[in-house]
Amino acid sequence: MGLAQDVGTTPVVLKNVRLIDGTGAAPIEGATILIENGRIAAITTGPSVAVPSGAQVLDYSGKTVIPGLINAHGHLGLVDWTDEVWGTQNSATAYTRENVVRELKQYEGYGVTAVLSLGGNRDLVYDLRGEQKAGKLDGADIFTAGRGIGVPGGAPPIPMADDQIYRPANAREARAAVDAMAAQKVDIIKVWIDDLHGKAPKMQPAVYRAVIEEAHKLGVPVAAHVYALADARALVNEGVDVLAHSVRDQPVDQALLDAMKQHGTWYIPTFTVDESFYIYTQHPAWMDTLFFKTAAGPKLDAMLTSPAYVAKVKADPSTAQHEKDFSVGQENLKRVFDAGVRVGFGTDSGAFPWRIPGFAEHRELELMVSAGLTPMQALVCATRNNAELLRATDLGTLQVGKRANLVVLDGNPLDAIANVDKMVSIIHDGRVIKPLATTAMLP
Ligand SMILES: [Zn+2]
């Protein structure tokens, strides 16, 4: 995304912070960050910074600053947030300006300053992205895969309108879909390769081969929804750029790791996908925080805590599968990461009600750490790495010249990744934003 015009016009100075800049380098203690015209103008240590007249000076002694989180696998406009249902249902009519803007604000208010909406977008997304670039719309920066390319009678199994997804019958139709989305300057092309545990037809290799070839001819990368190792291997060898979910049917093998390294393929784990199917039935302590409840909203919170919901999930034969998928995914991330494969960060938040925008990204960081990454490694995936994945050269790290997208924390996430929830303020393009929620427990 180019230079946004809605930059904070008042210079901002953040004093005395611990700076985790997103590059993976050790934190800089006692840093002062000068923000002008929405960008990082200077980073200094010691008393030497010249404060411009009229600047807003924020003394954040003892606080830690990280780059704004980037979600490289989310979805806009698939869940209905209107008053009647308020986040509890998918709807093929949910892709409205009101719903999408609400989700963008929720991401931003949880420190997620950019989101890649990875398919299922109506063409409204291009208008909204244009408004953001013209400085007329706040909320998380939109990156988009446009409609995305699914399968007739198959994945994705989400209610969508006809103008929200392509389901080509053959390679020729698939190429036409790629051409149409490339003409709209999508950031990436999305394909779904999944037979949903044998319940649905899977995209034929001839179709995704055509998609990858056509997209690359037009200079657009391709991300694939994937579940099974065999599909992942085939896609990587065809040149797909991003595996947008964990491989979960079995442990990743050396052939996949070698191929991903050879091709420079990205891996996005999305643990939220698997965990969100069952975790609420266990009522973890975080469900009693305002941090969770604010993101869920009262209706979804009531649904996820209701005995009927808990009984339904516990009786669902696929629940055991989701738990197994989660643990296979955890082990696979560690293998993939240690092998030196490029790892991004995503959640699939917004695809279904129980994958909650903003909250999910914080949870995902914890789950990357529980998989064996250090907090620093997880943060770098969610910031610098994702900026590289999105080819967004002015995002992802806090360095002079980059856009001033950052989160101020009351706690060091390197000590405990959960400290990433303790948001004091969020700065997006130099605008200072109050977080939507605190980590307080309910009274
Ligand atoms: Zn998705």
pLDDT (tens digit, 9 = 90+) per residue, 2-18?
344 345 679 999 999 99
Give the per-residue pLDDT at 83: 78
For residues 55 and 41, what is the distance between their CA atoms, to the nearest angstrom?
Answer: 13
Give the per-residue pLDDT at 85: 82
Give the per-residue pLDDT at 81: 87
What average pLDDT score do residues 347-351 get? Answer: 97
Give the per-residue pLDDT at 443: 59
Q: Given the DSSP bridges, would you call strands 222-226 and 189-193 parallel, antiparallel or unpaired?
A: parallel
Cα(401) to centroid of ligand 1, in Å? 32
Take residue 37 and report the two structure tokens written for it.
Answer: 């015209």
Please say if the pLDDT value at position 401 is more than 60: yes
Cα(78) to centroid of ligand 1, in Å? 10
Give the per-residue pLDDT at 6: 43
Take residue 440 and report the two structure tokens written for it.
Answer: 């307080």
DSSP one-letter code for 382: I
Cα(64) to centroid of ligand 1, in Å? 31
Give the per-residue pLDDT at 46: 75
Write the CB contacts of 371 (distance below 8 Å, at least 6 apart in sequence): 269, 271, 329, 330, 331, 333, 334
Please say if the pLDDT value at position 386 is more than 70: yes
What average pLDDT score do residues 387-391 get? Answer: 98
Cα(353) to centroid of ligand 1, in Å? 13
Which of 281-290's residues contact partners 24+ apart within 8 Å by CB, and which partners? 281/309, 281/310, 281/313, 281/314, 286/363, 288/441, 288/442, 289/439, 289/440, 289/441, 289/442, 290/437, 290/438, 290/439, 290/440, 290/441, 290/442
Cα(116) to centroid of ligand 1, in Å? 10
What average pLDDT score do residues 292-298 get? Answer: 95
Q: Which residues pair with 28 in a beta bridge?
A: 19
Please say if the pLDDT value at position 436 is more than 80: yes
Please say if the pLDDT value at position 150 is more than 90: yes
Question: Could you tell me the pLDDT band of residue 95, with boundaries at 50, 70 and 90?
Answer: very high
For the ranges 4-13, 103-112, 210-219, 380-389, the lowest mean pLDDT is seen at 4-13
Give the per-residue pLDDT at 84: 80
For the ranges 46-50, 92-96, 250-254, 366-370, the lowest mean pLDDT is seen at 46-50
What average pLDDT score do residues 139-162 get? Answer: 95
Provide the percentage of residues in the chain whose pLDDT is more than 90: 92
Cα(61) to centroid of ligand 1, in Å? 39
Provide the percentage of residues in the chain whose pLDDT is more than 70: 97
For residues 173 and 167, what is the distance between their CA atoms, to the nearest angstrom?
Answer: 9
Cα(73) to centroid of ligand 1, in Å? 6
Cα(412) to centroid of ligand 1, in Å? 30
Question: Could you tell me the pLDDT band of residue 439, with boundaries at 50, 70 and 90?
Answer: confident
pLDDT tens by residue, 169-203:
999 999 999 999 999 999 999 999 999 999 999 99
pLDDT tens by residue, 198-254:
999 999 999 999 999 999 999 999 999 999 999 999 999 999 999 999 999 999 999
For residues 319 and 148, what is the distance between their CA atoms, to the nearest angstrom?
Answer: 28
Question: Could you tell me the pLDDT band of residue 79, with boundaries at 50, 70 and 90?
Answer: very high
Give the per-residue pLDDT at 3: 40
Report the chain's mean pLDDT, rounded to a whole number: 95
What average pLDDT score do residues 354-381 get? Answer: 98
Please say if the pLDDT value at position 51 is more than 90: no
DSSP one-letter code for 17: E
Cα(350) to centroid of ligand 1, in Å? 8
Question: Could you tell me the pLDDT band of residue 98, with boundaries at 50, 70 and 90?
Answer: very high
Cα(93) to centroid of ligand 1, in Å? 18
What average pLDDT score do residues 158-179 get? Answer: 96
Give the per-residue pLDDT at 8: 64
Write the CB contacts of 220 (distance below 8 Å, at least 6 apart in sequence): 178, 181, 182, 186, 187, 188, 189
